[in-house]
Amino acid sequence: MDVPALEVSGVSKDFGRIIALRSVTFAVQSGEFVSVLGRNGAGKTTLLNVISGISRPSDGSVKLFGTDPNDRVNKAQLAVISHEMFLYGNLTALENLEYYSRIYNVPDAKNRIDTVLQDVELKHRRFDLVATYSRGMTQRLTIARALLHEPKLLLLDEPFTGLDQHAIGMLITLLKKQKEMGRTILLTTHDLHTAAILSDRYLVISKHKIVRDGWMKNSSPDEIRAAFFSAEAGENDS
Ligand SMILES: Nc1ncnc2c1ncn2[C@@H]1O[C@H](COP(=O)(O)OP(=O)(O)O)[C@@H](O)[C@H]1O
Ligand SMILES: [Mg+2]
């Protein structure tokens, strides 16, 4: 079997007295679409930060394509879409994408920029300063920026939050396309409906642990909902 795209082994993370993750173990094979479900404070963002190498686990280890998340080769294979935009407000959308194309050595950058701008429906606004963008537009540009270098592994932290219905539909289409291209996708959400539409597999995090790891096609919506709400109210620090 090929080396997994992602391997999380016995990962725990605490911030002083606050526990964020407890002995989290799972692997994701290349091409899988996995949704990480959990309520506020469950540990979803912490998990993504540990996977992307932004944050170091207190215990356990993470491997991307068999190596450390902070290995240089992984930077080219990874996209992180989170609330941190990594965009420059004093540059236009086009200038931002040109800048990142250079950083990532994107081949045929002009065409690639064109494609991602079209994908997120921002081509007509490419000459405008990002500082003048609405929140949803900024978020769409963040997605374009993250996909620019055609990463093999996409990590998305609550990507639908703050998008209107139209933009949600656009992102769903975009993610389905990424899936068809064989990309591996891990996203966190508290929206069970969208998770059910998109993913092959779901993990439920509750009280900082994985309490369920299942296949969407084998689970009824009621089952998934039950796992999601299994934690007693107040146990997650929402
Ligand atoms: N940098 C930090 N310092 C202290 N506590 C943190 C930090 N980041 C997260 N936490 C805590 O870890 C727990 C999990 O948070 P988080 O991963 O953001 O949850 P989620 O994304 O599921 O809402 C929460 O109790 C949160 O307050
Ligand atoms: Mg979060």
Instruction: State which ligand 1 atom lies nearest to the alpha carbon of 157.
Output: 21
Our answer on whether the CB atom of 184 is closer than 6 Å to any ligand 1 atom is: no
Kindly report the CA angle at 38 between 158 and 64, in degrees rounded to 5?
65
My answer on whether 72 and 123 are in the same domain is: no
My answer on whether 176 and 60 are in the same domain is: yes
My answer on whether 98 and 216 are in the same domain is: no
**Prediction pTM value:** 0.92
What does the pLDDT read at residue 234? 46
CATH number at residue 166: 3.40.50.300
215 in a structural domain? yes
My answer on whether 158 and 56 are in the same domain is: yes
83 in a structural domain? no
User: Each residue's pLDDT tens digit in the chain (238 positions)?
Assistant: 689 999 999 999 999 999 999 999 999 999 999 999 998 999 999 999 999 999 999 999 999 999 999 998 888 899 999 888 789 999 999 999 999 999 999 999 999 999 999 999 999 999 999 999 998 999 999 999 999 999 999 999 999 988 889 889 999 999 999 999 999 999 999 888 899 999 999 999 999 999 999 999 888 888 888 887 775 444 455 4
My answer on whether 55 and 160 are in the same domain is: yes
The domain boundary residue, chosen from 143, 171, 190:
143
Q: Which ligand is nearest to the CA of 54?
A: 1
Q: Which ligand is nearest to the CA of 50?
A: 1
My answer on whether 158 and 215 are in the same domain is: yes
What does the pLDDT read at residue 179? 96
What does the pLDDT read at residue 231? 54
Instruction: State which ligand 1 atom lies nearest to the alpha carbon of 236.
Output: 25
Q: What is the spatial distance between Cα 222 and Cα 118, in angstroms, rounded to a whole number? A: 37
Burial code (b: 16+ CB inside 10 Å, e: under 16) for 159-168 equals bbeebeeebb
Kindly report the CA angle at 174 between 116 and 33, in degrees rounded to 5?
130
Burial code (b: 16+ CB inside 10 Å, e: under 16) for 198-235 equals bbbbbbbbbbbbbbbeeebeebeeeebeebbeebeeee
My answer on whether 95 and 188 are in the same domain is: no
Domain that holds residue 129: 88-143
What does the pLDDT read at residue 221? 81
Q: Which residue has the tokens 């990002």?
A: 130
My answer on whether 104 and 218 are in the same domain is: no
Among the listed residues 227, 173, 184, 234, the one whose alpha carbon sits nearest the alpha carbon of residue 204: 227
236 in a structural domain? no
What does the pLDDT read at residue 233? 45
What does the pLDDT read at residue 193? 87
